[in-house]
Amino acid sequence: MYEAELEFAKKLARKAGKIMLEYFSIDKQIKYKDDASPVTIADEKVNRLVIEELTKKFSYGIIGEEESTTQYGKQDTVWICDPIDGTKAFIYGLPTAMFSLGLVHKGKSVMGVAYDPFLDRMFYASRGNGSYCNGLKLKVSDGSNLKGHNVGIISDAKELIKVKDTIEKLARKGANAVYVEGAVYKSCLVAEGKFVGYFSDLPKTHDLAAVSVILEEAGGKITAPDGSPLDFSKYFEGAVVSNGKVHNELLELLET
């Protein structure tokens, strides 16, 4: 199911990647939104490309970080896109920004594509059909606890200060707390077994719609910070991502 959507999304991701590469080393024409988050000309161009291409082929609504054709909760099946997840990384010149496009049905992510144009890595999955990167099947880490394993942490300096105690507890458990920009990037590292987990209060619905199915099809788990399921039919913030085996340990660490 959703084979046509998946193949189209992969082709679209490569087109988006070309725009990202085009602007990576030149003037990005940075602006700031009402919430003070930055947006570049590349974000806007990729979002516009997504809407133009998808509306030619499919009747589903589209929710993009910068531009949409519908709203959360208005349709059973919608595309949810983050044109450039990790815009700050993109601005800083760090190659951890990724294109992300998910298909959601009744609040659940059913298909997703996340593309890293810098290393030409295409992560993708559809519900029930496994998760892959460039054709190779993905599998989360077998790590049964946090000790000695990599855990992605929140990537905003001001927010890091707020969770300082949590990071100290993580360190006491023997985990390697890894600060790197990009919610999609870090989630993909969990899906391919390089991280056992990742947690942050910052990722939003559009950041996680694609990686949710990619992660789960690789054997992982993703929830809200309180452990409840994510509902992609509405706007939300924050998530805990893991290989499944350390999920409760991460949730407990965040509670204490």
For 196-218, write each residue's pLDDT tens digit.
999 999 999 999 999 999 999 99
More confident: 90 or 164: 90
Q: Is the dihedral of CA 212, 193, 98, 2 positive or negative?
A: negative
Q: Is the pLDDT of residue 155 over 80?
A: no
Mean pLDDT of 80-103: 97
Distance CA 244, CA 256 (A): 20
Q: Does the pLDDT at position 157 exceed 80?
A: no
> What percent of the chain is modeled with pLDDT above 70?
100
Question: Three-class SS of residue 113?
Answer: strand
What's the pLDDT at 63? Answer: 98
The rounded mean pLDDT for the chain is 95
pLDDT for 256 beyond 70: no
pLDDT number for residue 255:
82
pLDDT tens-digit series, residues 52-62? 999 999 999 99
186's CB contacts (< 8 A; 6+ apart) are 152, 155, 178, 180, 195, 198, 241
Give the side-chain half-sphere CA count within 13 A for 139: 4
Is the separation of the CB atoms in 96 and 109 below 8 Å?
Answer: no
Q: Distance (Å, rounded) from C-alpha 225 to C-alpha 214?
A: 19
* Tokens linked to 13: 């991701």
The first and second tokens of residue 88, run together, are 């700050």
Domains of the chain (ranges, CATH numbers): 3-137 (3.30.540.10), 150-255 (3.40.190.80)
